[in-house]
Amino acid sequence: MIDTATNILLMLVITLLAVTVTAFIIAVVTKIWNVVSRIHLPKVKLPKRPIPEKESKVRRRETMSKDTASEGITFNDIFMFMIAVPLVLLWVGFAGFVIHTGLNNSAVLENIEAYTTLIAILGGPALLIIKDALDVWKQEQAEKTAFYKVKAQAVIDYNDAAQKQMQMIEANAQTQEHKIESSSIEAVPVTKGKKK
């Protein structure tokens, strides 16, 4: 039974290694594609046409997303694909395998100390990686929350300023109307009627 468990573990490691190599190849191809896409070929000049307001907003967003995409793949990305992800998957897979076979086979329960030691050895770095990933996720969520707070405050300030501006415009309009009415009343001369 131990040979079967070892063979299954070996197959799991080979599968995870294949997934890692595939992820690395995809990362390299993506990096090459980003470099090639930055090469600017001479363009044919077309007559300019005016861009409506709606299209210009969309194009600004597209430009921002292209800038973000051109950052490229860093060493940390490659590290996560090559080491961290396979290690965590191997740890979870092996622990699940030991639990499954331990429930069905008493030979695994006899050697459970060796299996738990292996799970513990894999689990130490895997738990650190998971903790770091959760910390990064918490930081991203905190940044999103802060961004939305700033955005909400900007909307509140904008609405407040717009309301104050509308009130000021209405007050100025009323003041102007009163000035016009008072000047038109003063402009009309008061005439006294003649008595016959």
pLDDT for 85-99, tens place per residue? Answer: 888 888 888 888 888
What value does the mean pLDDT of the chain take?
Answer: 77
Selection from 14, 136, 28 nearest residue 86 by Cα: 14
135-171 pLDDT, tens digit per residue, is 888 998 999 999 999 999 999 999 999 999 999 999 9
- The phi-psi region of residue 195 (left if phi > 0; otherwise alpha if psi is between -120 and 50; otherwise beta) is beta
**Rounded Cα gap, residues 16 and 81, in angstroms:** 11
Indicate whether 183 pLDDT > 60: yes
pLDDT for 167 equals 95
Q: Considering Cα of 83, then 86, then 88, then 94, what sign does the dihedral take?
A: negative
Task: Say if pTM beats, i.e. exceeds, 0.85.
Answer: no
| Domain assignment present for 15 | yes
In a domain, residue 116? The reply is: yes
In a domain, 93, yes or no: yes
Q: Establish if 178 belongs to a structural domain.
A: no
**Predicted pLDDT at 40:** 65
Segment 35-54 shows an average pLDDT of: 65
For residue 100, is it within any domain? yes
Please tell me which residue, 135 or 16, carries the higher pLDDT value.
135
Residue range 64-81: mean pLDDT, rounded: 64
Per-residue pLDDT, 96: 85
Q: What's the domain range around 11?
A: 2-38+58-133
Total domains present in the chain: 1
Which residues lie below 8 Å from residue 31, measured CB to CB, with a gap of 6+?
72, 73
Residue 62 inside a domain? The answer is yes
Task: Report which of 134, 30, 36 is spatially closest to residue 78, judged by C-alpha positions.
Answer: 30
| Cα Rg of the chain, angstroms | 36
Would 88 be classed as within a structural domain?
yes
Whether residue 191 lies inside any domain: the answer is no
